[in-house]
Amino acid sequence: MSNPAPHPEVLAAFEQAKGFMPVDEGLALYAAAVEAAALGLPLLEVGTYCGRSTILLAAAARDAGVTAVTVDHHRGSEEQQPGWEYHDAGLVDPELTVTAADGTRTVRMDTLPTFRRTLFAAGLEDHVVALVGRSPRAAALWGRPLGLVFVDGGHTDEHAGADYEGWAPHVAPGGLLVVHDVFPDPADGGQAPYRIYRRALESGAFAETSVTRSLRVLRRVADGV
Ligand X SMILES: C[S@@+](CC[C@H](N)C(=O)[O-])C[C@H]1O[C@@H](n2cnc3c(N)ncnc32)[C@H](O)[C@@H]1O
Per this entry, what is the length of the chain?
Answer: 225
Q: Give the residue, chosen from 6, 42, 147, 153, that forms a contact with ligand X under the rule CB under 6 A.
A: 153
Beta strands in 7-160 (DSSP E): 43-46, 68-72, 92-99, 105-109, 128-132, 146-151
Q: For ligand X, what does the binding mask look like between residues 165 and 204, x meaning CB under 6 A? A: ----------------------------------------
CB 139 within 8 A of CB 133: no
Give whichever of 47 and 147 is closer to ligand X, judged by the CB atom.
Answer: 47
Q: Which of these is catalytic: 73, 74, 127, 155?
A: 155
Task: Determine whether 159 is an active site residue.
Answer: no
Angle of helix 157-167 relative to helix 192-202, nearest 10 degrees, comes to: 30
DSSP notation for 160-197: HHHHHHHHGGGEEEEEEEEES---SSGGGS-SHHHHHH
Q: For ligand X, what does the binding mask look like between residues 33 and 72, x meaning CB under 6 A? A: --------------x-x--xx-----------------xx
With binding defined as CB under 6 A, does residue 152 bind ligand X? yes
Interactions with ligand X, residue window 7-36 (CB under 6 A): 19-21
Give whichever of 135 and 214 is closer to ligand X, judged by the CB atom.
Answer: 135
Q: Which residues contact 113 (CB under 8 A, 6 or more apart)?
A: none
**Least gap, CB of 184 to ligand X (angstroms):** 19
With binding defined as CB under 6 A, does residue 73 bind ligand X? yes
**Least gap, CB of 50 to ligand X (angstroms):** 6
CA distance 105 to 109: 13
Give whichever of 62 and 134 is closer to ligand X, judged by the CB atom.
Answer: 134
CA distance 13 to 64: 19
Q: For ligand X, what does the binding mask look like between residues 122 and 151, x meaning CB under 6 A? A: ------------xx----------------
Tell me which amino acid residue 157 is.
D
Q: How many CB atoms lie within 10 A of CB 53?
A: 29
Catalytic positions: 155
Where along the sequence are the contacts to ligand X (CB under 6 A)?
A: 19-21, 47, 49, 52-53, 71-77, 111, 134-135, 152-154, 159
